[in-house]
Amino acid sequence: MTKIVKVKTGSKFEDVGSYSRVVAVDNWIYVSNTAGRNPHTQEIPDDVIAQTEQVFNNIERALAAVDASLQDVVMSRVFIQNPDDTHNVMAFIGKKFHGIDPATTVTCPPLGSTVYRVELEVTAYRGAANANVETITLTA
């Protein structure tokens, strides 16, 4: 029988929007769009890289709750408020995902508030970190 685990972080936004931070369906793990709000202080840094770092802290905490890690991420969706921040944000993300190399979408839509400069949503597969990975490089 399929097992579904839903993780709540206590965020008021999860209650208002009736959603879970994480939904794990067997080994598939879906992490909701995550902002750079510190869960303990409720503060959001002004700096886009500081926000991006907090986003990853929040996602890694959420993944750990279902016995997974950043190394299990197979897909990421990056939302950057200001297109001028794209290069710096993606350079930071590139360091975090170095060697993991998930499929990624990057877009610059308006976010839910102007205080949010970057948000990230990921899909993971529990055990992907230990999977036998084949990399194919296409050439022109």
Instruction: Give the domain extent around 102.
Output: 4-130
- The answer to whether position 137 is within a domain reads no
The CATH number that applies at residue 9 is 3.30.1330.40
3-state secondary structure the chain: CCCEEEECCCCHHHHHHCCCCEEEECCEEEEEEECCCCCCCCCCCCCHHHHHHHHHHHHHHHHHCCCCCHHHEEEEEEEECCHHHHHHHHHHHHHHCCCCCCEEEEECCCCCCCCCCEEEEEEEECCHHHCCCCCCCCCC
14-28 pLDDT, tens digit each? 888 989 999 999 999
Q: What is this structure's pTM?
A: 0.93
- pLDDT tens for each residue of 40-96: 999 999 999 999 999 999 999 999 999 999 999 999 999 999 999 999 999 999 999
Domains held by the chain: number: 1
